[in-house]
Structure 1
Amino acid sequence: MNRKWCALGLIGWMWIWLVGCTPKAGNIRVVCVRDEVGNYILKWETDPKLKGQVQVYASATPENFDMSVPALSAKIEDGVTTFITNDNLKRLYFRLIFDGEYQYDVSARYSFMDNIQNFRDLGGYYTSKGKQMKWGMIYRSGSIERFDVRDSVRLSSIGIRTILDLRSKKEVEAAPISFAKANVVRVSISDGDRDALMERLQANTLRKQDGILYMEDKYLQFVTQDYDVFGEALHLFLDEANYPILIQDDLGKDRTGFLSSLLLTLLDVPRESVMQDYLASNRYIDVGFFAKDACSMSLDAQETITVLLSAKESFLDIAYQEIDRKYDSFQEYTEKELHFSSQDQAQLREILLK
């Protein structure tokens, strides 16, 4: 995977409203970026402008920081500092303390992998009530069946206990996964008739608009037909012994994307952030990986393949529009179809929010 291309997609600003009524309280905007070497670049902006020092603490785990000695210190006015590391296999988390008062926890959302597409942390998002989803609890990615030794070290370093494989039985038989340090739980969700799809692409009878309709129909099916299996998957997140959990399918885009959107919505993460997370697959899927198969096809077919490999706002929108159309509320949908009660939702928030 082209790491320079991937690094450009690492930048994603996150806002936090800091509680307080003094002139110093306000908005702090923080981002964590990893460069091509693996160093962590921490950037921030404050509004209104703050002066003083920002202390940066580093940890290999998101919940246990040694607060005795900061790893870095910088002037708030500088707006940036860099944590140098010689080890890009292990993931780090950072706690920033602004002016000795305001705390912000952050990490790089995307993780470099040599042979795994679209691997990223689902944590860090803020709810509408200002709580933050814990980092390092849920990851999402494309299929890990081709992971190498370096990827194995990366997966081990973040302590994955459960791999939730959403691929169909046919996909699993064609490319089984095994990771000795994690329990693989399979919840089979169909990805459609891929053989028929490939035949139409090769015959040049599947155009761009056909591809869009195909994808929209798939997302409608998530809501109207696959609700029982998505509900089954959601209940896996109610057992703290399962964490950290990795959700995966072929590209980590559609089935994983919809399940991730359900989780974020159940946690009361605003729809804008839910969509932001969903669309991020466009930055982290290396379409060049599929160039060999596509180059022999017509330009129309290649354009359609681009649609099939994309995360489009209309795909996720049509699923939630169907929920809005058929049910009085998202809560009714989750209770009636996903069999995920208000008590389950409260338990999920207790586990994943801080």
Structure 2
Amino acid sequence: MGKVIQKVYIIKDKKTKATNLNIEAEGYWELYAGTSFESIDKTTPILTGNGSGIFPLNVNESIRIYFELVTNNGTLLLAERHLPMVGGYNFRDLGGFKTKEGRYTKWGKLFRADELSNLTEEDLQYLSSIPITSVIDFRAQSEVKRTPDKLPHTVRFTYPIAITPGNLSSEGIQANLLSTNIDTQMKYMNRLLVSDPPCVRAFRIFFAIVQNNLSAPLIFHCSAGKDRTGMAAALVLYSLGVDEQTIMEDYLASKIYLSDKYDAFIAKYPRAESIFTVKKMFLKAGINQIKRDHGSVMDYLTKVLKVDIVRMRRLYLE
């Protein structure tokens, strides 16, 4: 799209449901909308503009809307990255990331999330409008039993794939809070996520499901959506050819989205902060472990996790 569009986001407020276009641009543009990319009405724009600004959008607030931005230099497909879940915090679409080859990850196909146990009826209606077909749950059986998922009626497939790297889950570290260097333990947990045989098997199963063309639109999640889910999201984006800096930025965004969920607890127990947030060193520890053991992330994906890169990119890139 040349230099006409510098940055553009769709932002939907989780409380008010108000939808806005946030755009940094030069020149004239038009915005079109629909309930899917295929159904976008390209005859009448819902908004036109010239240059940058934040613009309110008059769209249906109860279902997911997709957008196409048209400029003199081309078009760009858009949706909100952070989904407006009242009963969820770290709920995001993996669409819209530019790859090193200049393609984009597809919107509305792969979603990363924290626990789904507190979703409201409005949340479930919204997810049904996508419509979510599959849910992969990385939580241990004890976590699932304590806070079972609430799922939209469109879900046809559920996959419990417990990922429990030793006693280094958040719960395990929390139990040893006073005697543990938590940053060290969180880095160790991330190394185990990509090297501990049960974890590796779990991620191999995860990719087998993701590569099934009947699975998406798909949610994968754990409790906070930052460690197990964060590693899964990073590996997916690596497989699709997204650069490492962008992958890290997506990983670190959990810190922003989980602040509402955990800030009060962290204020009371500051020593526990590392359990409830993300740090660059955590994901980096896992990625560096992969590179030490296998030479490259791509070799790990293809040789260990049995990822079909061509198929992944056919399914999830524009």
Structure 1 residues 317, 160: closer, same or farther in 2, change over 3 A? same
User: Which shifted more, 187-196 or 259-268?
Assistant: 187-196
Q: Give per-residue Cα distances to partners, 1:241-293, cap 9 Å, x unaligned.
A: 1110001100111111100100000000011111111111111114555746x
Residue 113 of structure 1 corresponds to 85
Residue 22 of structure 1 corresponds to none
Query: Alignment partner for residue 192 of structure 2, among 217, 221, 229?
Result: 221
Structure 1 residues 28, 347: closer, same or farther in 2, change over 3 A? same
RMSD: 2.1
Residue 76 of structure 2 corresponds to 104
User: Does structure 2 retain, via aligned residues, the 8 Å contact 1:44–1:80?
Assistant: yes
Residue 8 of structure 1 corresponds to none
Following superposition, the deviation at residue 80 of structure 1 comes to 4.4
Count matched residues: 310
TM-score by length of 2: 0.90
Query: Alignment partner for residue 239 of structure 2, among 257, 261, 266?
Result: 266
Following superposition, the deviation at residue 117 of structure 1 comes to 2.4
Residue 54 of structure 1 corresponds to 29
Q: Give per-residue Cα distances to partners, 1:119-174, cap 9 Å, x unaligned.
A: 11111001011101110001111110222212211221221000011111222233
Residue 55 of structure 2 corresponds to 81
User: Does structure 1 retain, via aligned residues, the 8 Å contact 2:135–2:220?
Assistant: yes
User: Which shifted more, 177-186 or 344-353?
Assistant: 177-186
Residue 128 of structure 2 corresponds to 156
User: Does structure 1 retain, via aligned residues, the 8 Å contact 2:24–2:52?
Assistant: no
User: Does structure 1 retain, via aligned residues, the 8 Å contact 2:62–2:122?
Assistant: yes
**Percent of aligned pairs sharing the same letter:** 25
Question: Structure 2 CA distance, aligned partners of 1:217 and 1:254?
Answer: 12
Following superposition, the deviation at residue 231 of structure 1 comes to 1.2
Residue 28 of structure 1 pairs with residue 2 of structure 2? no
Residue 333 of structure 1 corresponds to 300
Structure 1 residues 288, 264: closer, same or farther in 2, change over 3 A? closer
Q: Give per-residue Cα distances to partners, 1:210-239, cap 9 Å, x unaligned.
A: 111111111000111121211110111111
Question: Structure 2 CA distance, aligned partners of 1:195 and 1:130?
Answer: 41
TM-score by length of 1: 0.81
User: Does structure 2 retain, via aligned residues, the 8 Å contact 1:93–1:105?
Assistant: yes
Question: Structure 2 CA distance, aligned partners of 1:160 and 1:234?
Answer: 17
Residue 166 of structure 1 corresponds to 138
Residue 248 of structure 2 corresponds to 275
Following superposition, the deviation at residue 91 of structure 1 comes to 2.0
User: Does structure 2 retain, via aligned residues, the 8 Å contact 1:167–1:191?
Assistant: no
Question: Structure 1 CA distance, aligned partners of 2:302 and 2:98?
Answer: 24
Amino acid in structure 2 at the alignment position of 1:64: S
Q: Give per-residue Cα distances to partners, 1:67-116, cap 9 Å, x unaligned.
A: 12111122x2354432134x4332222111113x4111112211111212
Residue 6 of structure 1 corresponds to none
User: Does structure 1 retain, via aligned residues, the 8 Å contact 2:118–2:150?
Assistant: no
Structure 1 residues 77, 290: closer, same or farther in 2, change over 3 A? closer
Following superposition, the deviation at residue 177 of structure 1 comes to 2.3
Following superposition, the deviation at residue 189 of structure 1 comes to 0.4
Structure 1 residues 303, 192: closer, same or farther in 2, change over 3 A? farther
User: Does structure 2 retain, via aligned residues, the 8 Å contact 1:137–1:243?
Assistant: yes
Residue 205 of structure 1 pairs with residue 179 of structure 2? yes
Query: Alignment partner for residue 65 of structure 2, among 92, 101, 109?
Result: 92
Question: Structure 2 CA distance, aligned partners of 1:175 and 1:221?
Answer: 25
User: Does structure 2 retain, via aligned residues, the 8 Å contact 1:178–1:184?
Assistant: no
Question: Structure 2 CA distance, aligned partners of 1:77 and 1:197?
Answer: 49
Question: Structure 2 CA distance, aligned partners of 1:58 and 1:251?
Answer: 32
Q: Any unmatched runs of 5+ in structure 1?
A: 1-17, 19-24
Residue 351 of structure 1 corresponds to 315
Query: Alignment partner for residue 68 of structure 1, among 43, 46, 49?
Result: 43
Amino acid in structure 1 at the alignment position of 2:148: P
Amino acid in structure 2 at the alignment position of 1:200: N
Residue 251 of structure 1 pairs with residue 227 of structure 2? no
Residue 230 of structure 1 corresponds to 203
Amino acid in structure 2 at the alignment position of 1:246: I
3-state SS of the aligned residue for 1:240? coil
Residue 187 of structure 1 corresponds to 161
Following superposition, the deviation at residue 44 of structure 1 comes to 2.6
User: Does structure 2 retain, via aligned residues, the 8 Å contact 1:62–1:136?
Assistant: no
Q: Any unmatched runs of 5+ in structure 2?
A: none
